[in-house]
Amino acid sequence: MRVTPDALPPPREADVVIVGAGLSGTVMAAELAAAGKRVVLLERGRQWDPQDYRGPHDDWEAAATGPWNPSPNRRKLPEDYPIDDSGAEMKPLLFNGVGGSTVLYGAHWMRLLPSDFRRRTLDGVGDDWPIGYGELAPFYDRVDRDFGVSGIAGDPAFPARPDYPMPPLPIGEIGETVAAAHARLGWHWWPGSNAIASRPWRGRRPCVLRSACGEGCSEGAKASVDRTHLPAAVAAGARLVTGARVVQIETDASGRASGVVWRDATGVRHRLRAAKVVLAANALGSARLLLGSGAAGLANRSGLVGRRLMMHPFTRVAGLFDRPMGASQGAWGQALYSMEFAEADPASGRPHGAKWNLGPSGGPLHAALFPWPGGPPIGAELHERVAVWLDRAALWGITVDDPPDPENRVQLDAGAPVEGDDLPGLRLTYRIPADCREVLAFNAARARESFEAAGAVETIALPLAEDYGWHLLGTCRMGDDPETSVVDRWGEAHDHPGLFIADSSVFVTGGSVNPAATVAALSLRTAVQILSGRNGR
Amino acid sequence: MTDSTHTIERGIAGTRLAALAAVMIPAGRGLPDAPAAGVPGAMLDRILALRPEAGAILADAVAFRTELSPEDAVPAMAREEPALLSALFEVLAAAYYLAPAVRAGIGYSGQQALALPRGGFGAEDLVLEMMESPNRFRVPPDFVVSGVRQSDTGQSHES
């Protein structure tokens, strides 16, 4: 079911206004609306029609170089505010629109490890979260069902958990080959857990393995929240307003959140009063709004709004095989993953963990645009490269846990005004710690060994895939101490009762896994807390 | 297509662009060179419809070191303006691999809708072996799995 934004007059009052109709905002909206709260979702982007997604079309790869690129700086749609990332060693990826980044994500569905919540205690790195794995586990269980995740329980890399709603997607010939290699090496591997249907599930069709998740799932198999949560939210009475740019969070004389000011698509300003304001605009957008609200920003007693940005340093290792292996297709969600080096082991020279995911390699343009050593394959080399890649290449993606650093941050860029918006664009500062680069190199070398053990005739390891900054974390960390954190353990701002953050801003550390499941679980947990009224502020 | 691109694709500028494209994507392995595949031409028009801003990339490339032959200009661009070379290559390659003759030549018919196998996900025996191996995750000193009652997580949504 596709939700169409209503044409009613602009809402003036709500119990809860949620800024952003992406993953965390829509999970929040569904939960609160189902409980009878009057919810308004304000989304700066538009509602896309899945018929516009390019997966079934011959230009699916070409479209990803432009209008369907996950980088806002490449898309440059009117709803994309500019981000100066010249000072960032990873480049941010996100999607402004109904469904948010779930429209384009790979739907790798992973839980943080118990140790990720206790990096300070265990490793002397970063900080401990105010909550632990056990407090989040029931919410992980619930979002696994709500998102319709395919996978298989029993992975010894994680604590015991209930069965997934659906069996795993097929791992394919490449997956079976690499799995056998890991069995010989004695290395961990596991069939991928993905928020992608492997059988009919709550109105979703099974995946057809087209490998075009990154351009939007036209089959309706991938769990994007415009499909999984928004219909239920709207059916329960939530209002969705698109093209709504929130430009100010308002508070009353006591500091309590009282609503927002937003501009519609024509630039007209509106005031919406609400007892509770929930920010769900991702770790960049939510920090942008807090920094730009009021004379000196909001919720920033700690000085940490916008700071401690984590982006998960990432790289890719390609394995080229001497025969066709069906590697052009398969779920772009991970066929399998390895947590062999996911736990930090400082004694072994690995201060941070890394998670690996194995995936397909796409069509000829993916081959042509892979960052081959020596630069673009110009001339006859192009044909050679495409020939050895097409249907024969597999890719390990390697994601490294980067410890929070206050100097890695998001700032308003006063020199980058945004048309139709009161807030300017952003400037990012993000340096990859030297020990993270060492961990990347270590894991890339091991990933080459993985492919070599699987029979690859050539392996190519990139030092860094800087354009894959999908995971934006930590700009408004949670904590119990208002002097060292922005929100409390429930996501409520220490300084402003009634102001909540539901998105990845609140991460204290990032772990090395894909964060979508944790974002969903945290948002759901905050929603349940709001409904309980237990915090009583 | 933008007016500026329309201009680029015609006349002297179009000739220069075609020559650069032929150097960057020559014939080989039974495949046509870029101009013969419609780059510039119908295939490049499709890219420019998707990415109007790419017209500026083409314009910059055509204007680059015009005193050099195309054969010399491409390596010079790689040395002197590698970002422009990468951007140009991205546009030309995107157009080239839309061409039916090229796709047929490399045996690529696009991403197909495949039926999921009914026999399982694969490597089930190896999964069982892994399942029986010792736990690999670290256990923090305060690790608790049952800190929150399942009933406190609300009801699952049926959409």
Output the tens digit of pLDDT for each of chain A's 537 residues.
566 666 778 899 999 999 999 999 999 999 999 999 999 999 999 999 999 999 999 999 999 999 999 999 999 999 999 999 999 999 999 999 999 999 999 999 999 999 999 999 999 999 999 999 999 999 999 999 999 999 999 999 999 999 999 999 999 999 999 999 999 999 999 999 999 999 999 999 999 999 999 999 999 999 999 999 999 999 999 999 999 999 999 999 999 999 999 999 999 999 999 999 999 999 999 999 999 998 889 999 999 999 999 999 999 999 999 999 999 999 888 999 999 999 999 999 999 999 999 999 999 999 999 999 999 999 999 999 999 999 999 999 999 999 999 999 999 999 999 988 999 999 999 999 999 999 999 999 999 999 999 999 999 999 999 999 999 999 999 999 999 999 999 999 999 999 999 999 999 999 999 999 999 999 999 999 999 987 656
CA-based nearest residue in chain A for residue B48: A66
DSSP string, B39-73: TTTHHHHHHHHH-TTHHHHHHHHHHTTTTS-HHHH
pLDDT at position B124 over 60: yes
DSSP state of A303: S
Q: Using a CB–CB cutoff of 8 Å, tell me whether A252 touches chain B.
A: no
pLDDT grade for B148, boundaries at 50, 70 and 90: very low
Q: What CA–CA distances, in Å, run from A245 to A5, A281, A418?
A: 15, 11, 11
Q: Return the pLDDT at A333.
A: 84
> Which of 51-90 (B) contact A at CB < 8 A?
51, 53-54, 74, 78, 82, 85-86, 89-90
On chain B, the residues whose CB falls within 8 A of the CB of A76 are 53
- Return the pLDDT at B159: 39
Tell me which H or E stretch contains A336.
strand A336-338
What is the structure's pLDDT at B158? Answer: 44
A90 touches chain B (CB under 8 A): no
* Mean pLDDT over the full length of chain B: 88
pLDDT tens-digit series, residues B85-106: 999 999 999 999 999 999 999 9
* ipTM associated with this complex: 0.94
Quick check: is A372 in a domain? no
Give me the residue from B82, B107, B140 closest to A118, CB to CB.
B140
- Helix, strand, or coil here: B136? coil
- Please check whether residue A142 is in contact with residue A524, taking contact to mean a CB–CB distance below 8 angstroms: yes
User: Could you tell me if A180 and A454 are in contact, meaning their C-beta atoms sit under 8 angstroms apart?
Assistant: yes
Tell me whether residue A524 is exposed, middle or buried, using C-beta atoms within 10 angstroms of its C-beta: 0 to 12, 13 to 18, 19 or more.
buried
How many CB atoms within 10 Å of residue B101?
12
Across A134-196, where does the E strand assignment appear?
190-191
Are B131 and A155 an interchain contact pair (Cβ–Cβ within 8 Å)?
Answer: yes
pLDDT at B5 over 60: no
The answer to whether B31 contacts A383, with C-beta atoms less than 8 Å apart, is yes
Question: Has residue B152 got a pLDDT over 80?
Answer: no
In this complex, do A183 and B126 lie within 8 Å of one another by their Cβ atoms?
yes
How many domains is chain A built from?
1
B118 in A contact zone (CB under 8 Å): no
In a domain, A71, yes or no: no
- The structure tokens 């087209």 sit at A210
Q: What is the dihedral of CA A356, A359, A364, A367, to 10 degrees?
A: 10
Q: Report the gap between the CA of B146 and the closest CA in chain A (Å).
A: 6
Q: Measured between beta carbons, which residues in chain B are less than 8 angstroms from residue A203?
A: 159
Confidence at residue A357, expressed as pLDDT on a 0 to 100 scale: 98
Residue B153 pLDDT level (bands cut at 50, 70, 90):
low
Residues of chain B with C-beta less than 8 angstroms from the C-beta of A223: none
**Structural domain includes residue A378:** no
Q: Are A74 and A66 in contact (CB under 8 A)?
A: yes
Instruction: Quote the crossing angle between the two packed helices B70-80 and B82-96, to the nearest 10°.
Output: 120
Which residues span the domain enclosing A206?
Answer: 13-53+77-360+392-532
| B109 at interface of A, judged by CB pairs closer than 8 A | no
Q: How many CB atoms are located within 10 Å of the residue A373 CB?
A: 7
The token pair at A311 is 């982006």
| Residue with the two structure tokens 């220069």 | B16
Question: Residue A210 domain-assigned?
Answer: yes
CATH number, domain of A124, equals: 3.50.50.60
What is the sign, positive or negative, of the torsion defined by CA atoms of A217, A218, A220, A225?
A: positive
Name which of A378, A389, A392, A528 to mutate to probe chain B: the one with the most chain B Cβ atoms within 10 A of its Cβ.
A378
Q: Using CA atoms, how far apart are residues A354 and A337, in angstroms rounded to an integer?
A: 11
Helix, strand, coil share (%) of chain B residues, nearest 5: 55, 0, 45
A460/A451 Cα distance (integer angstroms): 10
The candidate with the shortest Cα–Cα distance to A175, out of A411, A359, A399, is A359
Where does residue A14 rank: exposed (0-12), middle (13-18), buried (19+ CB within 10 A)?
buried
Buried/exposed A100-112: b ≥16 CB within 10 Å, e otherwise: bbbbbbbbbbbbb
Nearest chain A residue to B118, by CA: A170
Question: Could you tell me the two tokens for A199?
Answer: 């059988």
Is A379 a domain residue? Answer: no
Per residue, what are the HEC states of A347-381? HHCECCCEEEEEECCCCHHHHHHCCCCCCCCCCHH
Inside any domain, residue A72? no
B148 at A interface, C-beta within 8 A: yes
Contacts of A376 in chain B (CB under 8 A): 85-86, 89
* pLDDT recorded at residue A426: 98
Q: Which of residues 504-533 of A touch B (CB under 8 A)?
A: 524-525, 527-528, 531
Chain B residues within an 8 Å CB radius of A191:
121, 123, 127
pTM: predicted TM-score of the whole model, two decimal places: 0.95
> What is the full DSSP assignment across A74-132?
HH--TT---EEEEEESS-B----BTTGGGGTS--B--PPPGGGGBHHHHHS-S-B-SS-
Residues 6+ apart with CB under 8 A from A392: A320, A321, A322, A323, A324, A325, A327
Residue of chain B whose Cα is closest to the Cα of A526: B153
Residue B138: list chain A partners with CB under 8 A: 113-115, 122, 343
Q: Residue A206: its chain B contacts at CB < 8 A?
A: 116
* Strand, coil or helix: B16: helix
Q: How far is CA A206 from the centre of its chain?
A: 22
pLDDT at B146: 56
Report yes or no on A366 lying in a domain. Answer: no
Residue A402 lies in a domain: yes
Q: Which residues of B touch A65 (CB under 8 A)?
A: 51, 90-91, 94
Contact B93 A365 (CB under 8 A): yes
Q: Are residues A355 and A108 in contact, defined by beta-carbon separation less than 8 angstroms? A: no
